[in-house]
Structure 1
Amino acid sequence: MGKLTQAELHAIKEKAESYRADMTAFLRAIVRNPGESAEEAAHVETIRREMEKVGFDEVKVDPQGNVMGFIGSGETLIAFDGHIDTVGIGNRDNWSFDPYEGYENETEIGGRGVSDQLGGTVSAVYAAKIMKELGLLDKKYRIMVVGTVQEEDCDGLCWEYICKEDKIRPEFVISSEPTDGGLYRGQRGRMEIRIDVKGVSCHGSAPERGDNAIYKMADILQDIRALNNNGDAESTEIKGLVKMLNPKFNPEWKEARFLGRGTVTASQIFYTSPSRCAVADSCAVSLDRRMTVGETWESCLEEIRQLPAVKKYGEDVKVSMYNYDRPSYTGLVYPIECYFPTWVIPEDHPVCTAAVAAYHDLFGEKRIGAEAVRAEREVRPLLDKWTFSTNGVSIMGRNGIPVLGFGPGAEAQAHAPNEITWKQDLVTCAAFYAALPSYYEK
């Protein structure tokens, strides 16, 4: 299929608008139950029932707990991903309304997870309904809407399972994470690094008899800070991560500049000591490492190992990567390294060009949104990237399946108290999702 006619586009937008109230009710029904990582069972059941209600051809829940709905019979599978777990509510005193009962007014819906990112799943479910009702799927395409689990704990774990164990590999995936009305073609990656330092304890009254692990770690942390903050001049001993934006150090510097430089920061610190009157005999830190294009888990670990202070303390220092092995709500354990690769698709990728063409035909050349956010969205580029991490780290980063992001809500609402989304975004995304397959050509 090629581009849609104006009459077909109008019919899609009209259908999406007609389901505004249904989508609002569906979203509020999901939010009503808490659904943090590994506790998503109620969310899955709510989504499963809605998929069956609106007429999906097949609905199933895989052993990990991901809920999947399918429409169409074509050979080319297009997937719409939305993680259905949320973070907790934090300090309840910071909320001006019940985060699970939520609220709605004429334009907004409030509640934990409405932007991050239950609204995207809602729009995708109703987009599939629209495609079926308007006959937009010929024998070429099959649509999969998947509500994925444990993303907040371990982004991408769900898609590792879907690709490796369910043996499902779509032609491409649309991530329905919030994009503030933009089309997002990439994100920085991240990894969770641990540094362990050994020491020798002794009585605190004679510290020279021991080997203080905390002091060793203090030296290492100074080098970590330098790695994040320094420039990349030839004379700089510890060249900063900004070097990856420099053609001299990174052949992929153009896309690195698009996504932004990597960062590293100490996020946690631990120690052991016989008492408060003793020298510490071990110290460990967690590092949050954000990666741009051209950086890998191997290069990031080696970068830490080559820091002067790390080399100075030799075998007393261990640099490693964390692992994740928390059971899903079904009890399934699927261990994985805490490495979440950078990914980006080119502007001229067929998925990207199809999405831009569909968006332009439906809505014009600027981002749109509810009146409250329209002005701030319009000045931002339509084609952009996420600041945070998504399931794209597995879909594209580990498995090479193209991903493009377009989802209701705002990044700034993610993990924040008094989280809201906009009803207009649900409608806009449902229309876009319904139109997109008609614009895609291999």
Structure 2
Amino acid sequence: MDLQAIKQAAATYGPAMTKFLREIVAFPGESSEEKEHVQRIEKEMKDLGFDEVEVDPMGNILGYMGSGKTLIAFDAHIDTVGIGNRDNWNFDPYEGFEDETQIGGRGVSDQLGGIVSAVYGAKIMKDLGLLNDKYRVLVVGTVQEEDCDGLCWEYMIKERNIRPEFVVSTEPTDGGIYRGQRGRMEIRVDVQGVSCHGSAPERGDNAIYKMADILQDIRDLNANSADESTAIKGLVKMLDPKFNPDHYEEARFLGRGTVTTSQIFYTSPPSRCAVADSCAVSLDRRMTAGETWQSCLAEIEALPHVQKYGAKVSMYEYARPSWTGLTYPIECYFPTWVIPKDHKVTEALEEAYTSLYGNERIGAEDTVEMRKARPLTDKWTFSTNGVSIMGRNGIPCIGFGPGAEAQAHAPNEITWKQDLVTCAAVYALLPSVYCKD
């Protein structure tokens, strides 16, 4: 294969990728409101000569190149979060901006840049005759990821029987290759009390006070050590083979689990002059290798004050209609996943990258020092659609995408033109490397 031709083709398409990205960003596209993003991506795929383009009943956009036996997919979620406080932005988040090296706008890193590079990676495969009877490429722009990671792939796998050989997540990776992430859960804890007039609180049973005790236990679960003398052993225990004999090495790679309180609710039916008769909290639970939804719920249920007050512990469910009106309910459990460092997919992506760009991360001048200080192959801090692809369904997943994880959900979000080019070239080469044997 002519590696220089691949790099040159990607560089030549750089201006077109920038234009494409800016035109997607011009439309707001929060979860369940991605229609205009889909329409713009559909047009680009058709204009570039994709062999087949479809929008599925959930609203995901799927573009196919080639007709080979092995299906290789590139996933990019095309919804974004909102802009937050507009006063925190130095430029219009939808008009965006570009200069010689950067592109600004809501979603440029998280993660509309990924669909742009994947679309043009497939185009390069076609241009250079890299498509053959060994593989077929699927580029997917998926919906509702910001609301419910992996929901889109649950639908495609379970309802449409789309099961690629492996999937490349194009979420931002700061120039690196990412082979896993911690999972997460959305947990709710409810405790009941008895209301009474606030002038005589002893007549009631204040649910907020009960929750205050429970919250101290939750804080201890996150912060404590795992010493034998500790009544509530901290989540750090999963890094110890004593508590996690089968998965502690993977847990050390991904990092320890965490739990934090993210929301609090109460009811006090009569008025503000009354004792609260219920209180509930939402917990953001990040899970490392070896933790499951069952173990995480049991851990909260076992906390001393949860037991003392008979609190109810449950998992949230997501059931919001997509932009097409389809509702696909699912529990808010997003499993941990990690692909082995010696897996064929990991090695293929590393070979594709190093063949083109060497053994270190690269990037624009303002990023390269920070990137080169990090290992080429690493993991995400946040969550991705890999929670369904590999976490729930066992389909190998690997990450390589333009932009920076730290830009996700931030005001003044930017990405780098060089990243779009780099990723398009690596995507174009990867299927040939994987299918060469």
The residue number in structure 2 matching 1:264 is 259
1:67-124 C-alpha deviation (Å, 9 max, x unpaired): 0000000111000000000001111111111111111111111111000000010000
Letter in 2 for 1:48: E
The reply to whether residue 302 of structure 1 matches residue 295 of structure 2 is no
Q: How many residues align?
A: 434
2:210 and 2:10 map into 1 onto residues whose CA distance is: 60
Correspondence 1:160-171 to 2 at 5 A: 160-171=154-165
The residue number in structure 2 matching 1:279 is 275
Q: 1:188 Cα shift?
A: 0.3
Q: 1:277 Cα shift?
A: 1.6
1:374 and 1:183 map into 2 onto residues whose CA distance is: 15
1:54 and 1:370 map into 2 onto residues whose CA distance is: 27
Moved over 2 A (4+): none
1:343-397 C-alpha deviation (Å, 9 max, x unpaired): 0000000000111111111100000001111111011000000000000000000
2:27 and 2:199 map into 1 onto residues whose CA distance is: 55
Letter in 1 for 2:297: L
The residue number in structure 2 matching 1:20 is 14
Q: 1:298 Cα shift?
A: 0.4
The residue number in structure 1 matching 2:377 is 383
The residue number in structure 2 matching 1:31 is 25
The share of aligned pairs that are identical, in percent, is 76
Correspondence 1:249-398 to 2 at 5 A: 249-251=243-245, 252-273=247-268, 274-314=270-310, 317-398=311-392
1:151 and 1:272 map into 2 onto residues whose CA distance is: 31
196, 199, 203: which is aligned to 1:202?
196
SS of 1:371 mapped into structure 2: coil
172, 177, 188: which is aligned to 1:178?
172
2:196 and 2:412 map into 1 onto residues whose CA distance is: 50
The reply to whether residue 420 of structure 1 matches residue 414 of structure 2 is yes
SS of 1:268 mapped into structure 2: strand
1:269-316 C-alpha deviation (Å, 9 max, x unpaired): 0000122221110000000000000000000000000011111112xx
SS of 1:396 mapped into structure 2: helix
1:271 and 1:110 map into 2 onto residues whose CA distance is: 40
Residue pair 1:79, 1:144 contacting (<8 A) in 2 also: yes
Letter in 1 for 2:39: E
1:319-363 C-alpha deviation (Å, 9 max, x unpaired): 000000010000000000010000000000000011111111110
The residue number in structure 2 matching 1:108 is 102
SS of 1:372 mapped into structure 2: coil
1:157-183 C-alpha deviation (Å, 9 max, x unpaired): 000011011210000000000000000
Q: 1:14 Cα shift?
A: 0.6
Residue pair 1:65, 1:329 contacting (<8 A) in 2 also: yes
Letter in 2 for 1:431: A
Letter in 2 for 1:335: P
Letter in 1 for 2:303: L
Q: 1:203 Cα shift?
A: 1.4
Gaps of 5+ in 1: none
1:214-273 C-alpha deviation (Å, 9 max, x unpaired): 111111111000000000011110000000000100021111011000000111000001
Letter in 2 for 1:255: E
1:234 and 1:137 map into 2 onto residues whose CA distance is: 58
Residue pair 1:81, 1:175 contacting (<8 A) in 2 also: yes
SS of 2:395 mapped into structure 1: coil
1:166 and 1:230 map into 2 onto residues whose CA distance is: 45
2:411 and 2:308 map into 1 onto residues whose CA distance is: 45
2:200 and 2:82 map into 1 onto residues whose CA distance is: 46
Gaps of 5+ in 2: none
The reply to whether residue 141 of structure 1 matches residue 135 of structure 2 is yes
SS of 1:432 mapped into structure 2: helix
156, 169, 179: which is aligned to 2:150?
156
The residue number in structure 2 matching 1:69 is 63
Letter in 2 for 1:397: G
1:370 and 1:203 map into 2 onto residues whose CA distance is: 63
1:300 and 1:362 map into 2 onto residues whose CA distance is: 43
Letter in 1 for 2:336: T
SS of 1:394 mapped into structure 2: helix
TM-align CA RMSD: 0.8
The reply to whether residue 220 of structure 1 matches residue 211 of structure 2 is no
Structure 2 length-normalised TM: 0.98
1:124 and 1:213 map into 2 onto residues whose CA distance is: 51
SS of 2:185 mapped into structure 1: strand
2:263 and 2:409 map into 1 onto residues whose CA distance is: 20
Q: 1:135 Cα shift?
A: 1.1
1:267 and 1:112 map into 2 onto residues whose CA distance is: 24
